[in-house]
């Protein structure tokens, strides 16, 4: 559904009962130029007022467990999705059919599903924006790491997240490795090293070694360590609360009416 001039942006939130979804609901409800237009999550939350669920007071929007019914009822302009990698495509594809632009923060979407989304996006012409990390600090951490990658021969990534994170490594670590690997495809590794415990040296993404830590006490953190002759450089980002993602999400929602195609990465719309 195309937004008319002076109309508020109608936003549908999928995964509305989750940690990120609740933060999005609360933030959307506080924006003068936006209107909450639908909320979707699994059956167990169906029928509950999403504003109350998110701790933002009554919104009059009841959680739906069916994306098609939410799309028909509210004709949203933009969907914001923070669900699970295997759930998200099932929300994005019907949105594109209904001309609802998609802002996707969910990580762990498979390459096959990405291809299906890409194809549908091309067919419908409805814009899709995907960001593995909506925080400005994390985007800068990636940017600085890419810059440093041109000058250092060694690099490894350590990412730390809360114990309920579903995917490893994080989407941010994968994206950082991808961007670093694009400017330096020959990071060094010790030769003939023997792993006494399988996996102890982490995994390799785009030529960069990645280590994932999961435990309570962490939210989302990443350290990129680069090494050269006689020196190391550490570039670290810490997300202290989920609020850090909201300015990026709101910016993406506002920009959807002028975006074209399928765009990945907050750095591409800043």
Nearest partner of 147 among 176, 120, 173, judged by Cα? 176
Tell me how far apart the alpha carbons of residues 55 and 61 are, in angstroms, rounded to a whole number. Answer: 13
**Smaller CB distance to ligand NAD: residue 82 or 152?**
82
Q: x/- site string to ligand NAD, residues 62 to 91, per CB under 6 A?
A: --------------------xxx--x----
Q: Is 131 near ligand NAD (CB under 6 A)?
A: yes
Shortest distance, position 92 Cβ to ligand NAD, whole Å: 13
For this structure, is 165 an active site residue? Answer: yes
Q: How many residues bind ligand NAD (CB under 6 A)?
A: 21
Give the span between the Cα atoms of 59 and 257, in whole angstroms. Answer: 25
Nearer to ligand NAD, 42 or 257 (CB): 42
Tokens for 158?
A: 């350590």
Interatomic CA distance for residues 195 and 55, integer angstroms: 48
Q: Which of residues 135-164 bind ligand NAD (CB under 6 A)?
A: none
Please say if 237 is a catalytic residue: no
* Selected catalytic residue, list 120, 161, 211, 221: 161
Stretch of 16-24, 111-119, 208-216, 226-234 lying at the interface with ligand NAD (CB under 6 A): 16-24
105 is an interface residue for ligand NAD by CB under 6 A:
yes
Annotated catalytic residue within 26, 77, 165, 237: 165
Structure tokens given for 54: 């998110």
Question: Is residue 110 at the binding interface for ligand NAD, with CB under 6 A as the rule?
Answer: no
Judged by CB under 6 A, the residue of 27, 59, 106, 176 near ligand NAD is: 106
Q: How many other CB atoms are found less than 10 A from the CB of residue 40?
A: 27
* CB closest to ligand NAD, residue no: 18
C-alpha dist (Å) from residue 246 to 12, 39, 46, 232, 266: 15, 17, 25, 33, 12
DSSP H/E element including 227 = strand 220-228
Comparison of 197 and 215: residue with beta carbon closer to ligand NAD: 215
Chain center to CA of 54: 19
CB–CB of 41/14 below 8 Å?
Answer: yes
* Closest CB to ligand NAD among residues 79, 226: 79
- What would the two tokens of residue 143 be? 């940017």
Per CB under 6 A, contacts with ligand NAD among 206-245 are 245
- Kindly tell me the burial class for residue 231, based on how many C-beta atoms sit within 10 Å of its own C-beta (0-12, 13-18, 19 or more): exposed
Bridge partners of 78? 11, 101
- Which residues of this chain interact with ligand NAD, rule CB under 6 A? 15, 17-21, 41-42, 82-84, 87, 105-108, 131-134, 245
- The residues assigned a catalytic role are 161, 165
């Amino acid at each position: 559904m195309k937004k008319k001039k002076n109309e508020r942006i109608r936003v549908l939130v999928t995964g509305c009962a989750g940690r990120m979804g609740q933060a999005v609901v609360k933030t959307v409800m506080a924006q003068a130029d936006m209107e909450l237009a639908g909320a979707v999550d699994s059956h167990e939350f169906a029928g509950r007022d999403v504003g109350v669920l998110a701790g933002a007071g009554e919104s009059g929007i009841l959680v739906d467990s069916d994306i098609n019914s939410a799309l028909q009822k509210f004709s949203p302009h933009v969907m914001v999705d923070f669900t699970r990698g295997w759930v998200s495509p099932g929300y994005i594809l019907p949105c594109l059919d209904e001309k609802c632009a998609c802002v996707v923060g969910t990580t762990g979407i498979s390459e096959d599903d990405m291809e299906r989304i890409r194809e549908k996006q091309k067919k419908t012409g409805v814009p899709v924006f995907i960001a593995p990390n909506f925080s400005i600090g994390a985007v800068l951490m990636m940017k600085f790491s890419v810059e440093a990658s041109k000058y250092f021969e060694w690099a490894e990534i350590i990412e730390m997240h809360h114990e309920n994170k579903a995917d490893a490594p994080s989407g941010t670590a994968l994206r950082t490795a991808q961007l670093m690997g694009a400017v330096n495809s020959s990071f060094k590794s010790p030769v003939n090293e023997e792993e006494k415990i399988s996996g102890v040296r982490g995994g390799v993404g785009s030529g960069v070694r990645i280590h994932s830590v999961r435990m309570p006490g962490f939210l989302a953190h990443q350290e990129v360590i680069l090494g050269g002759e006689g020196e190391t450089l550490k570039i670290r980002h810490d997300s202290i609360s989920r609020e850090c993602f909201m300015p990026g999400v709101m910016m993406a929602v506002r920009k959807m009416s002028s975006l074209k195609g399928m765009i990945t990465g907050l750095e591409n719309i800043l």
